Amino acid sequence: MTDEFDDTLPDADMDAFEAASLRLSVDLGALADNWRGMNTRSGKARASAVVKADAYGLGIEDCGSTLYHAGARDFFVATAAEGVTLRPHAPEARIFVLSGIWPGQERQIFNNDLVPVIASEEQLSFWMGTLADRGEHPFALHVDTGFNRLGLPLDDALYLADDPTRPASFDPVLVLSHLACADTPSSPMNRVQLESFRRVSEAFEGIESSLSASAGIFLGPDYHFDLTRPGITLYGGEAVNEMANPMRPVAKAEARIIQIREAGEGQTVSYGGTFLLKRASRLAIAAVGYADGYHRSLSGSGIPLREMGYGGAYGFINGYEVPVAGRVTMDLTIFDVTDVPANAIRAGDYIELFGPNVPVDEAARAAGTIGYEMLTGLGLRYERQYLIDDE
């Protein structure tokens, strides 16, 4: 017996993507188009690109490089480590770190020319002390206008803008806030936050201002200020409730069918036996489960959402929608493929979990969640393929 790999075996040269049990296709051309579309919608403002959480689960290196070449010159990440990863792929861009800076992160911030977003009195005090020792370095200031998440309180920020005793090193390159209800255009909260942020922008005259992420951009030019921050829309997701999604789909997740089996009327499917077959059926067992971000709440039965009457998830194969049957398990999900002609499906084929035929937000609604979570929750087992437009 030899320990050497026999490269004459049939699969020696098989492409890893073609052989994978789970695969994720990322359309970088659609990503670039979506950014250009959001930049146009931003009117007189510039659009940045939000690439936090590994570019919403799709890969910060490839997505960041694509967005940079599309024209983005301002990026937002959540952590300094994300900024370090992005920097080689956006060499001349400003990279803002939304979590700010903490002791021990100075080298990451300075060596990679990252822009911390200062969001609290504690961070501001630490940052001013750091600059006193090191010298000038750009930073942004986050002001809370009603979200009650991150940011200096409004009154504190307004006081700071006019405080003659503030340190000479206090010279932010951007002031920003975040809308709580922009996905619901009729919410009065939007106007309340807009008026508060106008006060901030006026108080910090001469400094660029940013209020709107994806949904806020759709609220119109009053909300755009100098810089917008599109995120979910870049990756093809919905930003505004009950509005047709104008973005191109970017991600397609697929799972290989491991087995197709016959089951009789009256039999049950998956854990708990909660899914009762009302006819003789064919079932496709696919290599995806909640360990891969395909949530248990997508199950066809046996969970609270289904018991309350909400419809379950479905996949797509060869022109047919195929519902999830029974409970999603850790590594496997069962789809009812009875209505797919027998000659149109076989073991080894792939079922689309979300993508052009199953919108990611529609899949998310079946799980009782949002497209953001579907994308950022993708597990580690997807083999990825990045598609680039031929030009």
Q: What is the pLDDT of residue 297?
A: 97
Ramachandran category for residue 294: left, alpha or beta (phi over 0 → left; psi -120 to 50 → alpha): beta
Q: 44, 221 in Cβ contact below 8 A? A: yes
Q: Where are the alpha helices (DSSP H) in the chain?
A: 16-19, 28-41, 52-56, 60-70, 80-86, 106-111, 121-134, 154-161, 188-203, 214-217, 304-307, 360-366, 371-376
Question: CB within 8 A of 6, min separation 6: which ones?
Answer: 12
Q: What is the pLDDT of residue 9?
A: 57
Q: 311, 297 in Cβ contact below 8 A? A: no
Q: Does pTM surpass 0.85?
A: yes
DSSP SS3 for 368: coil
Q: 105, 133 in Cβ contact below 8 A? A: no
Superfamily of domain covering 251-387: Lyase, Ornithine Decarboxylase; Chain A, domain 1 (2.40.37.10)
Q: What is the pLDDT of residue 164?
A: 87
Where along the chain do the CATH 2.40.37.10 domains lie?
251-387
> How many CA atoms lie less than 13 Å away from 200 in the CB half-sphere?
30
Q: 146, 183 in Cβ contact below 8 A? A: no
Where along the chain do the CATH 3.20.20.10 domains lie?
42-235
Identify the helix (H) or strand (E) that includes residue 175. Answer: strand 174-176
Fold of 42-235: TIM Barrel (3.20.20)
Question: CB within 8 A of 134, min separation 6: which ones?
Answer: 106, 110
Other residues' Cβ atoms within 10 Å of the Cβ of residue 364: 24
Q: What is the pLDDT of residue 391?
A: 47
Residue type at 124 in one-letter notation: L
> How many CA atoms lie less than 13 Å away from 310 in the CB half-sphere?
18
Q: What is the pLDDT of residue 106?
A: 96
DSSP SS3 for 162: coil
Q: What angle do CA 359, 73, 175 make, to 5 degrees?
A: 95
The dihedral of CA 181, 33, 221, 197: what is its sign? Answer: positive
Catalytic sites, residue numbers = 52, 271
Q: What is the pLDDT of residue 309?
A: 87
Q: What is the mean pLDDT of each run of 10 residues along the chain (391 residues)?
A: 55 78 98 98 98 98 98 98 98 98 96 98 95 94 97 96 88 97 98 98 97 98 98 98 96 98 97 96 98 97 91 95 98 98 97 98 96 95 90 47
Other residues' Cβ atoms within 10 Å of the Cβ of residue 131: 17
Q: 344, 318 in Cβ contact below 8 A? A: yes
The dihedral of CA 108, 112, 113, 114: what is its sign? Answer: negative
